[in-house]
Amino acid sequence: MMKAIGLNHSFESAVADIVDNSLDAGARKVLIRFIRDSASLRSICIVDDGHGMDDKTIDRAMTVGGDRNYDEDDLGHFGIGLKAASLGQARKLTVVSRAANQPAVGRRWLIDAASKGFECDVVGSGFATSLLDRDWRHLTPSSGTIVLWTEVKSFAAIADAKALDRFIDSYLTKLRHHLGLVYHRLLAAKKVEIAVDVEDVAAGEVGLPFSVDPIDPFGYIRSCRGDYPKVLRSTWRDRPIELNCCIWPGRSNHANFKLSGEKAEPFQGFFIYRNGRLLQRGSWNGAVLPERELQLARVAIDIDDTQSALFTMNAEKTRVEASSEFGAVVQSATDGKTTFLQYLDHARSAYRDSQKRKRERPKVRRPGKGFAEAVRSAIDDEYEFLPGEALDVRWVDLGDDTFFELDREDSLIRLNRRYRSAIIGGRDSSLNDAPLVKALIYLLAEESFHGAFLGAKRKDNLAMWQSILTAAARAESK
């Protein structure tokens, strides 16, 4: 059993299982550090500044299925996460920990020893203390816990430094994405800060930390339909259940929509949360058949342990199994006007409309440098793009007081730098500043970048806009 547990975890879901424990221990900061030498990965450390463990607690922590009393807002549930997640990924698991005003303690499991008997090693207090007192930069675990994985299985066969670089990069990216999604509510609410970094012991260097940023699967700029999101209510055994029904804008390229994939279609359906942590990213749980036309439909549900006869999570906490009663719960959900089935129809027709409307619109030049990501993504949601160079926008000294200048040859909209500080107000200037003004000028001027010449009508329009906008810009900077 010890060899089998944890094998269903991916690397990133295994790390999340460890981070769950840190959150349950009240950690405000968590660091995941990859420790490498020139050509191999030595270990992975997950460090937290939670309340830590004493000698007795750490023994229970290392016990498979070790029981404790859970608070209702705890993420832990089964009593196996730490062992299963770790030994699925690494052949050696070391845990060191320190509770307030207690000596540091440590334990170690070796997968080979563990599969012969339930004995784990005691790690000396000196070693535990020195590990906790290392300079972790992102946090100082005066009380806290470090989970250390050595002999990480997926890194075992790497032959050279270049391959290791690529491997670490791709693991970091996947990990930040996964944690950003799973904990997006907790990260956005600033309940915890998570960072990831790489230490090269051969070079004696620690790289810059990357923060884990929230990825909100419901984070669209505006819904396809003004009347959404809607909360549809239902009951299960006289207890209320809320379905928070959303419809994404069609054809979005937003990372919040596509999540880790190329397409958003697999991420339709129920997003199930427990204590603010995302368990399931889409799936209709058998209540509805997935279909292409439902890809804009996402429904958030918050569950708790009083509903354990309706929802069971898998041991990896990546999926939720719904019981056969769930279909009826979903079918009867309503807000008094809209039923769940009508919601599905609204999502389908929103999808069909978005396909149609977007195709019927004239194609535009892709917005390039100088536009804020949110602006680029919103334009991308609405239009199809012409082939060819992107259209950039840049602040430049124009020599006179005109507001803008179009450079058709370089695909560039120049804005007069003398108005910049007036327009961005007190904020810092940056490449992608002034998103609103830039979006407006894009909408106005983009068409002038089509075709080989500017006709008389378009030239006249440009002259008119120039005089009005220049007057407005002068007034803005008074």
Ligand X SMILES: Nc1ncnc2c1ncn2[C@@H]1O[C@H](COP(=O)(O)OP(=O)(O)OP(=O)(O)O)[C@@H](O)[C@H]1O
State the residues that interact with ligand X by CB under 6 A: 17, 20-22, 25, 48, 50, 52-53, 57, 61, 66, 68, 76-83, 145
Question: Which residue, 78 or 118, is less far from ligand X as judged by CB?
Answer: 78
Q: 270 Cβ partners below 8 Å, 6+ apart? A: 280, 282, 283, 284, 285, 299, 300, 301, 320
53 versus 192: smaller Cβ distance to ligand X: 53
Taking CB within 5 to 8 Å according to partner kind, which of Mg ion, ligand X, none is near residue 375? none
Contact yes or no for 252/223 (Cβ under 8 A): no
Size of the site for Mg ion (CB under 5 A): 4
Q: Near Mg ion by CB under 5 A, which window of 12-20, 278-286, 330-338, 457-465?
A: 12-20
- HSE value, Cβ hemisphere, 13 Å, CA-based, for 416: 19
Binding-site partner at residue 181 among Mg ion, ligand X, none, CB < 5 to 8 Å by type: none
Cα–Cα dist 47/132, whole Å = 9
The window from 76-84, 109-117, 152-160, 174-182 that contacts Mg ion (CB under 5 A) reads 76-84
The answer to the question of residue 21 lying near Mg ion (CB under 5 A) is yes
Least CB distance from residue 81 to ligand X, whole Å? 2
State the residue number with the nearest CB to Mg ion.
Answer: 81
As measured in angstroms, the least distance from the Cβ of 285 to ligand X is 21
Given ligand X, Mg ion, none, residue 318, with its beta carbon under 5 to 8 Å by kind, binds none
Give the nearest distance from C-beta 33 to ligand X in angstroms.
15
Which of the stretches 17-25, 171-179, 252-260, 341-349 binds Mg ion when contact is defined by CB under 5 A? 17-25
In the complex, the smallest distance separating the C-beta of residue 316 from ligand X, rounded to whole angstroms, is 10
If the CB atoms of residues 83 and 178 are measured against ligand X, the closer one turns out to be 83
**The two structure tokens encoding residue 460:** 């006249």
Instruction: Return the number of the residue (50 or 217) whose C-beta is nearest ligand X.
Output: 50
CB of 36 to ligand X, least distance (A): 23
We find the least distance from the C-beta atom of residue 138 to Mg ion, in angstroms, to be 21
Which of Mg ion, ligand X, none has residue 396 at its interface (CB below 5 to 8 Å by kind)?
none
In the complex, the smallest distance separating the C-beta of residue 18 from Mg ion, rounded to whole angstroms, is 8
In this complex, which beta carbon is closest to ligand X, that of residue 138 or of residue 414?
138
3-state secondary structure the chain: CCCCCCCCCCHHHHHHHHHHHHHHCCCCEEEEEEEECCCCEEEEEEEECCCCCCHHHHHHHCCCCCCCCCCCCCCCCCCCHHHHHHHHHEEEEEEEEECCCCCCEEEEEEHHHHCCCCCCEEECHHHHHHHHCCCCCCCCCCCEEEEEEEEEHHHCCCCCHHHHHHHHHHHHHHHHHHHHHHCHHHHHCCCCEEEEEEEECCCCEECCCEECCCCCCCCCCCCCCCCCCEEEEEEECCEEEEEEEEECCCCCCCHHHHCCCCCCHHHCEEEEEECCEEEEECECCCCCCCCHHHCCEEEEEEECHHHCCCEEECCCCCCEEECCCHHHHHHCCECCCCEHHHHHHHHHHHHHHHHHHHHHCCCECCECCCCCHHHHHHHHHHCCECCCCCEEEEEECCCCCCCEEEECCCCEEEEEHHHHHHHHCCCCCCCCCCHHHHHHHHHHHHHHHCCCCCCHHHHHHHHHHHHHHHHHHHHHCC
Least gap, CB of 323 to Mg ion (angstroms): 24
Within 10 angstroms of residue 14's Cβ, the number of other Cβ atoms is: 24
Which residue carries 């307030």 as its tokens?
100
Give 59 or 476: the residue with its C-beta nearer to Mg ion: 59
- Residue found under tokens 């397409």: 263
295 binds, among Mg ion, ligand X, none (CB under 5 to 8 A by kind): none
Q: How far is the CB of 323 from ligand X (least distance, A)?
A: 20
Distance CA 411, CA 368 (A): 9
- Choose the contact partner of 53 out of Mg ion, ligand X, none; CB within 5 to 8 A by kind: ligand X
Residue (19 or 297) nearer to ligand X, CB: 19
Told to check if 269 binds Mg ion by CB under 5 A, we report no
**Residue 80 touches which of Mg ion, ligand X, none (CB < 5 to 8 A by kind)?**
ligand X
Nearest residue to ligand X, scored by beta-carbon proximity: 81
| The only residue of 76, 88, 106, 282 in contact with Mg ion, by rule CB under 5 A | 76
Using the structure block, give the residue that is written with the tokens 């536009």.
371
- In the region spanning residues 311 to 350, those forming contacts with Mg ion, defined by CB under 5 A, are none
CB of 301 to ligand X, least distance (A): 20
Q: How far apart are CA 335 and CA 458, in angstroms?
A: 50
State the nearest-atom distance from the C-beta of 20 to Mg ion, in Å: 5
Q: CB-wise, 90 or 350, nearer to ligand X?
A: 90
Under the binding rule (CB under 5 A), the answer on residue 50 touching Mg ion is no
Instruction: Work out how close the CB of 192 gets to ligand X at its nearest, in angstroms, rounded to a whole number.
Output: 12
Which of 6, 52, 81, 180 contacts Mg ion by CB under 5 A? 81
Residue with Cβ nearer ligand X (68 or 363): 68
Which residues make up the interface to Mg ion (CB under 5 A)? 20-21, 76, 81
